[in-house]
Amino acid sequence: MTSVKLVRADGSLYDYVPAGEPLTLVQRAGFATRIAFAAAHVVLDPLRTAEPLTHPVIDWDATLAYREHLWSLGFGVAEAMDTAQRGMGLDWPLALELIQRSTAAAKARGALVASGAGTDHLPAGPHTLQDVTDAYLQQCEAIEAAGGRIILMASRALAAVARGADDYASVYGAVLTQVREPVILHWLGPMFDPALEGYWGSPTIAEAMESCLSIIRDHGTKIDGIKISLLDAAQEISMRRQLPSGVLMYTGDDFNYDDLILGDGHGHSDALLGIFDAIAPAASLALAALDAGDVARYRQLLAPTVPLSRHIFAAPTQHYKAGVVFLAYLNGFQAHFRMVRGLESARSISHLCELFVLADRARVLRNPDLATERMRNFLLPAGVA
């Protein structure tokens, strides 16, 4: 491999020689011992997008091709979630079209997909609890009409109007009693979306967790599981041990997923992770190793992905999508590094250079020569030659 000139955080340049040792992809239908969803990104069509800040156009072929890639490695797809820039440029009409297309593609190949239902089509507030309930039900009904499974996303509108745990219980109870099949709840921490501070009706994690657990206990037959994205392994383990029998914990912890999925003597977490979009080859091989009882191989494969994930999800965490999309560009899954609402600019050049290095070390650059060439081309407009 030839060297590439990269940029450090202080602006200085250095030469890096990629190891160039990609993992070998192995196609599989799924995993035996863990359920694993990858929250998938969307691919913008920059040539047909005339108003990138307000009216993005999606490249449906490239977007669905990436989902086919994830399915081929054994993952389910968590559709129209935070990773797809839901609430950060992907509005409900586009999200619904994405859900409909993805659900149809999943059914055609017998693959797993679950889609985010929220309240993001509501106009700017203020709103009532009934407004929020009706908005949730509208999106749930649309997903069910498409033949899809539901992930009940956290709601900014509910966080704004709720005055305590009872308000959350009222809204979630009204929605859960009307869904056709068990849903996955979603607890997204404020590091991902500051508007969700104090979700479940309390500023403290312990009280919020108890409020959420109370809803789960009251409606357990309508809940498949809960994904929590708090980036706090101890809190996830605490909640996992308190879940009613039959309700799954899906880790959304992009910092500690390796240990949480492996589990302990009291149980393990399944997975619904944005980072699985970026590290799909390594995660697929690791989960297959876990199925085979080879814990050492599982750890060997995932250990080098953790520094990459922690870098991608570094504060401000909500901009992790830029890293996910950049890696898809480096790996040849899309022809450009452009994002909905221009969010490719959310991460610095030095941040993306370090991402390239960590991805190489994690062996998730599927064609190192192509990735290196694209890295060079990306740096040229910044004056790095």
Q: Is the link from the previous residue into 194 a cis peptide, with omega within 30 of 0?
A: no
Percent of the chain having pLDDT more than 90?
98
pLDDT, tens only, 191-224: 999 999 999 999 999 999 999 999 999 999 999 9
Q: At what angle do helices 368-379 and 349-361 cross, to 10 degrees?
A: 170
In whole angstroms, give the CA distance from residue 237 to residue 220. Answer: 19
pLDDT value at residue 274: 98
Average pLDDT estimate for 177-203: 97
- Whether the per-residue pLDDT at 164 is higher than 90: the answer is yes
pLDDT value at residue 39: 98
pLDDT value at residue 385: 85
pLDDT value at residue 296: 98
pLDDT value at residue 1: 79
pLDDT value at residue 125: 83
Q: Sketch the domain layout of the chain as residue ranges.
A: 22-334
pLDDT value at residue 199: 98
Which backbone phi and psi does 68 adopt, to 5 degrees? -60, -40
User: Which top CATH class is 22-334?
Assistant: alpha beta
Which backbone phi and psi does 98 adopt, to 5 degrees? -60, -45
pLDDT confidence of 256, banded at 50, 70, 90?
Answer: very high
pLDDT, tens only, 299-318: 999 999 999 999 999 999 99
- Whether the per-residue pLDDT at 261 is higher than 90: the answer is yes
pLDDT, tens only, 321-342: 999 999 999 999 999 999 999 9
Q: Long-range contact list for 62-67, CB < 8 A, 24+ apart?
A: 62/333, 62/334, 62/335, 63/98, 63/101, 64/101, 64/102, 64/105, 65/333, 66/40, 66/41, 66/328, 66/333, 66/334, 67/40, 67/102, 67/105, 67/106, 67/113
pLDDT, tens only, 4-34: 999 999 999 999 999 999 999 999 999 999 9
Give the dihedral sign, CA 101/23/4/355.
positive
Structure token pair of residue 167: 């308000």
Percent of the chain having pLDDT more than 70?
100
pLDDT, tens only, 60-81: 999 999 999 999 999 999 999 9
In whole angstroms, give the CA distance from residue 71 to residue 88. Answer: 25
| Average pLDDT of the residues of the chain | 97
pTM to 2 decimals? 0.97
Three-state SS annotation for the chain: CCCEEEECCCCCEEEECCCCCCCCCCCCCCCCCCCEEEECCCCECCCCCCECCCECCECHHHHHHHHHHHHHCCCEEEECCHHHCECCCECHHHHHHHHHHHHHHHHHHCCCEEEEECCCCCCCCCCCHHHHHHHHHHHHHHHHHCCCEEEECCCHHHHHHCCCHHHHHHHHHHHHCCCCCCEEEEEECCCCCHHHCCHHHCCCHHHHHHHHHHHHHHCHHHEEEEEEECCCHHHHHHHHCCCCCCCEEEECCCCCHHHHHHCECCECCEEEECHHHHCHHHHHHHHHHHHCCCHHHHHHHHCCHHHHHHHHCCCCHHHHHHHHHHHHHHCCCCCCCCCHHHHHHHCCHHHHHHHHHHHHHCCCCCCHHHHHHHHHHHHHHHCCC
